[in-house]
Structure 1
Amino acid sequence: MTVNHSSTLTIEYFQSYIQLVMNSRELSLEEATQFIDQFFFSGDLLVYGTETKNNFELAINSFK
């Protein structure tokens, strides 16, 4: 997936992406967040900035 480094990714973006990963790979929320951390963020949640990291965490919490 190509991501523009200059824009902040939204909570809604991550909600959709998390749901897609959970459904397509048949993963739990915890497994999906680990997968996204490794493959989307390359192990560095700050790679796309603080706001994007915060939105990712808020999206995770919206599933709980």
Structure 2
Amino acid sequence: MLIKNAGTLSQKYFQSYFQLTMNSQHCNADQAKKIIFDRFFAGNTKKLGATSYQNFMNAYKQCKEG
């Protein structure tokens, strides 16, 4: 997935992506977190900005809880 000049990615966007990843990869939230982090952030929490990273983490926490 190419994300160029996308601005800040929302928590809702990441929640949807977590669901998509878990369904398509048949994995749990922890495994999905690693997959998504590698795809979007390439190991750098600052790659998409602090707000996008925080939204990613919030979506992960919500996915873990429920």
Q: What is the correspondence of 1:1-64 to structure 2 with a 5 Å cutoff?
A: 1-5=1-5, 7-63=7-63, 64=65
| Gap runs ≥5 in structure 2 | none
TM-score of the two chains, using structure 1 as the length reference: 0.90
Alpha-carbon separation, structure 2, partners of 1:5 and 1:31 = 27
Identity %: 34
2:20 aligned counterpart, secondary structure: helix
Alpha-carbon separation, structure 2, partners of 1:16 and 1:2 = 17
Higher helix share: 2
Counterparts in 2 of 1:13 and 1:6: CA distance versus 1, 3 Å = closer
Alpha-carbon separation, structure 2, partners of 1:34 and 1:7 = 22
> For the aligned residues, what is the CA RMSD?
1.2
| Gap runs ≥5 in structure 1 | none
How many pairs were matched up? 64
Alpha-carbon separation, structure 2, partners of 1:17 and 1:6 = 15
